Amino acid sequence: MPVSMYRLLIPPTVRVLGNLVAILEKGAAHCEAKKIDPLVMTGSRLFPDMFPLSRQVQIATDVAKAGAARLAGQTPPAYEDTEKTFPELIARVHRTIEYLGTFREEHFVGAEQRTVAWKTPMREMSMPGIAYVQDWVTPNVFFHVTTTYNLLRHNGVEVGKPDFLGMK
């Protein structure tokens, strides 16, 4: 049976982004309950040279939308990367989930063999579609969602593995 690139990419990405919304909502509620400036939380880092929480969310959504678009032979929509507040970040994730919802199985026919090429800040890259999803898109989305989770957890938000997995 051939690999369904749609099933490999879209459902798990939508799921983890939905879980990201839930943990961001918990972060916002925590700030409100503890009287913490939410911008302190969305600007938090684990180490000075890493991106803040807000940028982690932006990158997760950028990789998700670009991954689907490129795999389908389309141009990904551009977001301005200006979100700083929890409501803005949550809205961005919702917008990405809605965008991913526009894709159908037929958009990815033959995509496992198609070469996907893109630029990163450090270099140009290309790889077959199957490797692009398995080795680039999925690990990057999960890395940045996990980092967001870790930043919230580190800052006292009561989230656990069930929140990350969407099992609550």
Q: Which superfamily is assigned to 5-159 in CATH?
A: dinb family like domain (1.20.120.450)
Model confidence at 20: pLDDT above 80: yes
Contact 58, 48 (CB under 8 A): no
The beta strand positions in the chain, using DSSP E, are 115-119, 124-128
Q: What pTM, to 2 d.p., does this model score? A: 0.95
> Are 85 and 31 within 8 A, CB to CB?
no
Is 1's pLDDT higher than 70?
Answer: no
pLDDT (average), residues 133-152: 98
Mean pLDDT within 2-28: 96
Domain boundaries, the chain: 5-159
Pairing mode, strands 124-128 and 115-119: antiparallel
How does pLDDT run across 85-114, given as a tens digit for each residue? 999 999 999 999 999 999 999 999 999 999
State whether residue 119 is helix, strand or coil: strand
Percent helix, strand and coil across the chain, each to the nearest 5: 60, 5, 30
Q: What is the mean pLDDT of the segment spanning 25-47?
A: 97
